[in-house]
A and B are shown apart, each in its own frame.
Chain A
Amino acid sequence: MIGLTATVVFAGKFASWEVEFLSKEFFITLILLSSGVFGFFISLDLFTMFLFYELAVIPMYLLIGIWGSGPREYSAMKLTLMLMGGSAFLLLGLLGIYFYSGNDTVSPTFNILEIAERTIPAEAQRFFFPFAFVGFGVLGALYPLHTWSPDGHASAPTAVSMLHAGVLMKLGGYGCFRVAMFLLPEAANEMAWFFLILTTISIVYGAFGAVHQKDLKYINAYSSVSHCGLVLFALLMMNPTAMDGAILQMISHGLMCALFFALIGMIYGRTHTRMINEMGGIMRVMPFLGVIYVIGGLASLGLPGLSGFVAEMSIFVGSFQINDVFHRVITVLACTSIVVTAVYILRLVGIMLLGPIIHKEHEKLGDAHWFERISAGALTAAIIGMGMAPFWLSDMIGESLIPIVKQLTTNIGL
């Protein structure tokens, strides 16, 4: 968990490198959004968790609506309503957990750690688990509730896309895991199969969706859907290795996604287009951005030595350890997404970065400025660092996972 919060700090800092271009209201709302995210991750109490969740969603409306591009009003409204809809389900789930955490002798509590020590009746768990899981799942882009994500990401200004895809979507995964599964373990075990199917669909569908897109931001948004699906998928496997991988994937995807959106913002700022077939030869005119983009892309498709590999490896190894046909089949299905990811990443690199320059005026464009280099460089360094030496992180995650895994094992006898 500490690792996650650190990532948030990371991405949050770099989201604000655009100081010079935008007005002060932008930063007020952006900081409000970040504080919501921070609050969410550090809270150990269902009520504050919910409060910060909503606090993180609302500034998005203004951020996308005012500073976004494209069909921004539509996207902003869609995103806000869908996420708030998720929070509505969530609220019901949380209230249920709250009232069932008490009984004749102890009063109900919102404290997550205390609830974990009590047992909530299995029937209540069965009723409230879908609410809690779907409530967070909307934010984690669970199929079929992911549709806000591509539109929202594509319309949002760069810094917001970064923070949103990089961090906010992780709120969903984290919440599913911390609240829905941690507090309602029996129901989680019983219903995992259903949600596993949904997440598998999200993984594969997201990857294929990305292949079809021509807009850089849409490509990334769909790839986020796929990767976030992978996070939920791994969590639902209820296996320590896979869970470890899920957390790694959250961090890795947070870094990659932030990097991608930052790069897209920088490229767009120069070429004024995000359509890949209108660009070409970026590598020649902007070597720095090009190289970083390739590194990010390779991390995304899981090349060893970069963060994506570590995460996906643990996930698939962990999932495959479970000894039954259902779990193995869907693991294999989910694995295919890696191949599809390779397709769209390499196609993009081929056309946009290495291909011939299409527009003459693109030849005159300059490379990254110093502040852009710092931002992109730091994220890249983190990705490479994580890929080369994953043990720091995975040790830390492993330790913090122990109580949660114990909770799951004692309750369902894994």
Chain B
Amino acid sequence: MNLESFLIMRHEIMLTALAILFLFADLVWKENNKKGLIPFVIILFAVNVIIGLMPASTGVLFGGMYQTSGIQILMKNVLNIGVLIVFIQSYRWLISDEVVHKIGEYFFLLIVTLTGMNFMISSGDFLMFYLGLEIATIPIAALAAYDRLKQKSAEAGIKLILSSALSSGILLYGISMIYGTTGTTYFSDVTSLIHYEPLQILGLIFFFTGMGFKISLVPFHLWTADVYEGAPINITSYLSVISKGAASFIFMIILFTAFRYFIDVWQNLIFLISAVTMTIGNLFAIRQNNIKRFLAFSSIAQAGFLMLGIIGGSQLGMTSVVYFALIYIFSNLGAFGVATAISNATGKENISDYKGLYHTNPKLSLLMLLSLFSLAGIPPVAGFFGKFFLFTAAAQQGFYILVLIAVINAIISLYYYLLVVKAMFLNKSDNPIPYFKSDFPTRLALLICLTGIIIIGFASYVFEYIKNLSFGV
């Protein structure tokens, strides 16, 4: 193993180094000036994002346990950018008195989970995949319980760890069945050894179930809303965007490679799950008043839409999933960013509190409007293009019925997004949220999201670029 092959793992190595560096920095940093750590971390992480964007070599390591190609590097970069935005958004929350003494942990744990996700995306083998998944999951449970003095936060942590332990167990059981029937854990070997044995199909279903928990597909979504509501809002945005995105990516890669010849089995599964997920997620979102629960259910529905790209198993499908995830990061973090800003300034988290927001905080409400429109898929913002390509990918393979269900769901989702818009723009309130000025990091993060929402849709080369890297079944 020489330096060159070592550098194939550049993303993971950088992240590990950063995680350790921050842990030590936290130790030696002066106790009364913990705030100074935040800019230090953010700048270093931004450097890491930029280095990650530079051209990287691809290849296979450890005899096939670790593999990386253009699309995987791209996925990692997408996640990196998302995490950077989350970091900038959390500035305001981190300097509050309750949590300022444990800033180091926050960054350390988040970066460790990100490292786990990177390993997971690059895995070429079920064991490596499982390892990455666990590294990515367990620290998040600690983070969800970060406000440990708040009962809801602690509850969220417990719920998350228990449900993910259960799902990991099921997942592992599925993997062991695959291993038992094929005698190997490598994706490339599994591919050719699959021939419709009942045990293998059961293994696939268990694998599917385990991943369903992570991506929070219906009927495995029950933890989502409670955890999202209880966890600190920045962790919620991390969970709903980064963690979900990473799990979807590897889910797609494994289905497209290891289970390639099972395509007619998992297409049926995805068809059902996707239709149910979209519908249930949307219908429940209508009833929510807490903005975090609202976004939780909307993110369940979005995961259902994401499945539309996977179902065809085509190159266009993979492109549209990565493209949609990229847009989704900007739009959802935009929405969460506004919610965070309001929650930090006033402590209000209910949609009914947003009444008349436009009259007091026009910029924030405009940004919220654009983010929600992007989530709903309204032109000219990027979300429209993301959804459009997902629908196209499914229609290309002839799933017109599913596309019909999806477009009807898109209308339902428009309804509840418009409810928020209505609260902000149309309704008047006797007691509106007063005008407040956000600090620089919040505005910076929102500006990045805004740029992403507006530009990605029109910059067609983004889509072309992803398409060149993608592959189909």
Q: Is the CB of A99 within 8 A of B373?
A: no
Stretch at the interface among A50-58, A324-332, A397-405: A50-58
**CB proximity to B under 8 Å, residues A80-105:** 80-81, 84-85, 88-89, 91-92, 95-96, 98-99
Q: Is the CB of B395 within 8 A of A73?
A: no
Give which listed residue, B404, B407, B421, contacts A61 with CB less than 8 A: B421
User: Contacts A65-B425, A95-B403 given: A77-B379 contact, CB under 8 Å?
Assistant: no
**CB proximity to A under 8 Å, residues B368-391:** 373, 378-380, 384, 388, 391
Does B418 lie at the interface of the complex (its beta carbon under 8 Å from any beta carbon of A)? Answer: yes
Which residue in chain B gives the minimum CB-CB distance to A77?
B418
B-chain residues with CB within 8 Å of residue A98 when the two chains form the complex: 392, 395
Give which listed residue, B378, B396, B421, B422, contacts A99 with CB less than 8 A: B396
B-chain residues with CB within 8 Å of residue A84 when the two chains form the complex: 410-411, 414
Q: Is the CB of A95 within 8 A of B418?
A: no
Does A66 lie at the interface of the complex (its beta carbon under 8 Å from any beta carbon of B)? Answer: yes
Q: Is the CB of A95 within 8 A of B408?
A: no
Q: What's the least CB distance linking A364 to chain B, in Å?
A: 33
B-chain residues with CB within 8 Å of residue A368 when the two chains form the complex: none
Q: Is the CB of B395 within 8 A of A95?
A: yes
Q: Is the CB of B415 within 8 A of A77?
A: yes
Give which listed residue, B379, B396, B426, contacts A55 with CB less than 8 A: B379
Q: Is the CB of B378 within 8 A of A81?
A: no
Q: Is the CB of A92 within 8 A of B379?
A: no
B-chain residues with CB within 8 Å of residue A81 when the two chains form the complex: 411, 414-415
B-chain residues with CB within 8 Å of residue A51 when the two chains form the complex: 379-380, 384
Give which listed residue, B384, B392, B418, B425, contacts A66 with CB less than 8 A: B425
Q: Which of B378, B411, B425 has the most CB of A within 10 A?
A: B411
A-chain residues with CB within 8 Å of residue B422 when the two chains form the complex: 65, 73, 77
A-chain residues with CB within 8 Å of residue B414 when the two chains form the complex: 80-81, 84
**CB proximity to A under 8 Å, residues B99-144:** none
Q: Which of A72, A81, A91 has the most CB of B within 10 A?
A: A91
Q: What's the least CB distance linking A102 to chain B, in Å?
A: 10
Q: Is the CB of A96 within 8 A of B400?
A: yes
Which residue in chain A gives the minimum CB-CB distance to B457?
A51
Q: Mark B415-442, 1 if CB is under 8 A from A, else 0.
A: 1001001100110000000000000000
Q: Is the CB of B418 within 8 A of A61?
A: yes
Which residue in chain B gives the minimum CB-CB distance to A88?
B407
User: Contacts A81-B415, A95-B392, A96-B395 given: A89-B378 contact, CB under 8 Å?
Assistant: no
Q: Which of B379, B391, B395, B410 has the most CB of A within 10 A?
A: B379
> In the bound complex, how far is the Cα of B422 from the Cα of A65, in angstroms?
8
Q: What's the least CB distance linking B465 to chain A, in Å?
A: 20
Q: Which of A51, A84, A85 has the most CB of B within 10 A?
A: A84
B-chain residues with CB within 8 Å of residue A62 when the two chains form the complex: 421, 425
Q: Mark B180-223, 1 if CB is under 8 A from A, else 0.
A: 00000000000000000000000000000000000000000000
Q: Is the CB of B411 within 8 A of A85?
A: yes
Q: Is the CB of B407 within 8 A of A89?
A: yes
> In the bound complex, how far is the Cα of B408 from the Cα of A98, in angstroms?
20
B-chain residues with CB within 8 Å of residue A47 when the two chains form the complex: 388
Interface size, chain B (Cβ < 8 Å)? 24
Q: What's the least CB distance linking A359 to chain B, in Å?
A: 31
A-chain residues with CB within 8 Å of residue B425 when the two chains form the complex: 62, 65-66
Q: Is the CB of B378 within 8 A of A54?
A: yes
Q: What's the least CB distance linking A205 to chain B, in Å?
A: 25
User: Contacts A51-B379, A92-B404 given: A80-B418 contact, CB under 8 Å?
Assistant: yes
> In the bound complex, how far is the Cα of B403 from the Cα of A58, in angstroms?
22
A-chain residues with CB within 8 Å of residue B407 when the two chains form the complex: 88-89, 91-92
B-chain residues with CB within 8 Å of residue A66 when the two chains form the complex: 425-426
> In the bound complex, how far is the Cα of B384 from the Cα of A95, in angstroms?
15
Q: Is the CB of B411 within 8 A of A92?
A: no
> In the bound complex, how far is the Cα of B373 from the Cα of A63, in angstroms?
16
Q: Mark A34-53, 1 if CB is under 8 A from B, else 0.
A: 00000000000001000110
> In the bound complex, how far is the Cα of B384 from the Cα of A105, in angstroms?
30
Q: What's the least CB distance linking A179 to chain B, in Å?
A: 16
Q: What's the least CB distance linking A86 to chain B, in Å?
A: 10
> In the bound complex, how far is the Cα of B392 from the Cα of A96, in angstroms?
9
A-chain residues with CB within 8 Å of residue B395 when the two chains form the complex: 92, 95-96, 98-99
Which residue in chain B gives the minimum CB-CB distance to A52?
B379
Q: Is the CB of A58 within 8 A of B415?
A: no
Q: Mark B359-373, 1 if CB is under 8 A from A, else 0.
A: 000000000000001
Q: Which of A66, A72, A80, A88 has the most CB of B within 10 A?
A: A88
Q: Mark B139-153, 1 if CB is under 8 A from A, else 0.
A: 000000000000000
Which residue in chain B gives the minimum CB-CB distance to A86?
B411
Give which listed residue, A58, A76, A91, A127, contacts B378 with CB less than 8 A: A58
B-chain residues with CB within 8 Å of residue A92 when the two chains form the complex: 395, 400, 403-404, 407
B-chain residues with CB within 8 Å of residue A91 when the two chains form the complex: 388, 391, 403, 407
> In the bound complex, how far is the Cα of B395 from the Cα of A127, in angstroms?
14
B-chain residues with CB within 8 Å of residue A52 when the two chains form the complex: 379
> In the bound complex, how far is the Cα of B407 from the Cα of A88, in angstroms?
5
Which residue in chain B gives the minimum CB-CB distance to A108?
B396
Which residue in chain B gives the minimum CB-CB distance to A47?
B388
Q: Which of B378, B392, B407 has the most CB of A within 10 A?
A: B407
User: Contacts A65-B422, A65-B426, A73-B426 given: A55-B411 contact, CB under 8 Å?
Assistant: no
Q: Is the CB of A54 within 8 A of B384?
A: yes
Q: Is the CB of A88 within 8 A of B421?
A: no
Q: What's the least CB distance linking A377 to chain B, in Å?
A: 35
Q: What's the least CB distance linking B338 to chain A, in Å?
A: 18
Q: What's the least CB distance linking A162 to chain B, in Å?
A: 22
**CB proximity to A under 8 Å, residues B221-269:** none
> In the bound complex, how far is the Cα of B404 from the Cα of A88, in angstroms?
8
> In the bound complex, how far is the Cα of B426 from the Cα of A77, in angstroms?
11
> In the bound complex, how far is the Cα of B425 from the Cα of A61, in angstroms?
11
> In the bound complex, how far is the Cα of B458 from the Cα of A235, in angstroms?
35
A-chain residues with CB within 8 Å of residue B373 when the two chains form the complex: 58
Give which listed residue, B379, B392, B403, contacts A54 with CB less than 8 A: B379
> In the bound complex, how far is the Cα of B399 from the Cα of A92, in angstroms?
11
> In the bound complex, how far is the Cα of B396 from the Cα of A99, in angstroms?
6
Give which listed residue, A55, A61, A95, contacts B391 with CB less than 8 A: A95
Q: What's the least CB distance linking A69 to chain B, in Å?
A: 13
Q: Is the CB of A88 within 8 A of B410?
A: yes
Q: What's the least CB distance linking A413 to chain B, in Å?
A: 29
Residues of A within 8 A of B (CB): 47, 51-52, 54-55, 58, 61-62, 65-66, 72-73, 76-77, 80-81, 84-85, 88-89, 91-92, 95-96, 98-99, 127
28 contacts between A and B (CB under 8 A): A51-B379, A51-B380, A51-B384, A52-B379, A54-B378, A54-B379, A54-B384, A61-B418, A61-B421, A66-B425, A73-B426, A77-B418, A77-B422, A80-B414, A81-B415, A84-B411, A84-B414, A88-B404, A88-B407, A88-B408, A88-B411, A91-B391, A91-B403, A95-B400, A96-B395, A98-B392, A99-B395, A127-B400
Assuming A54-B379, A65-B425, A92-B403, what are 18 further A-B pairs, CB within 8 angstroms? A51-B379, A55-B380, A58-B373, A61-B421, A62-B425, A65-B422, A65-B426, A66-B426, A73-B422, A73-B426, A81-B411, A81-B415, A85-B411, A91-B388, A95-B395, A95-B400, A95-B403, A96-B400
